[in-house]
Amino acid sequence: VVNVIGKYAEMYSNINDENVSYAHINFEHLSEMVNSSLIEVGNHTYDMHTGNGIKNASDTKLKEDISQAQNLFVCNLHSTPKAFAYPFGKISKQALPILKEMGFKAVFCCWEKVNKLSGNAEELYHLNRFNRPHGKSAEKILTDLK
């Protein structure tokens, strides 16, 4: 699952900047990934990576932002994300019921470790994840996991 910030996917789709040091991606590359059936795109908000972001957002603002990203993914990828990742891992108690209501089936927090699931469906709303830090290749990240 690649969790995508909608605003940046939109921005990098409109400019020709493919610097590998950035952790941003455009819709052409995302479409290629989705069509491969190997990668699933998750929602990482449209623009809640600034200021207080998701933590202090009203329910209305939260729904609007996440819906804006969902609509962007549907229009550009013909795919509706079922996974969501909290911006900076900042968990918001008010967000989880909203995410469930919006149809998300999995939610990623920000603890960098492997998930060990017991079969309880609620565990899918508190998944660990690995972040791609600036300047570190995906190959290096995966090699370090061994």
Question: Which tens digit of pLDDT belongs to each residue from 86-134?
Answer: 987 777 778 999 999 999 999 998 888 889 999 999 999 999 887 776 6
pLDDT reading at 144 higher than 70: yes
The confidence score (pLDDT) of residue 94 equals: 86
| C-alpha closest to that of 4 among 121, 108, 119, 138 | 108
Tokens of 141: 């990240």
Do residues 6 and 72 lie in contact, with contact meaning Cβ atoms separated by under 8 Å? yes
| pTM of the predicted structure, to 2 decimals | 0.85
pLDDT band at residue 16 using 50, 70 and 90 as cut-offs:
confident
How distant, in Å, are the alpha carbons of 64, 88, 109, 141 from that of 134?
Answer: 28, 14, 19, 11
Q: What is the DSSP letter of 106?
A: E
Do residues 42 and 3 lie in contact, with contact meaning Cβ atoms separated by under 8 Å? yes
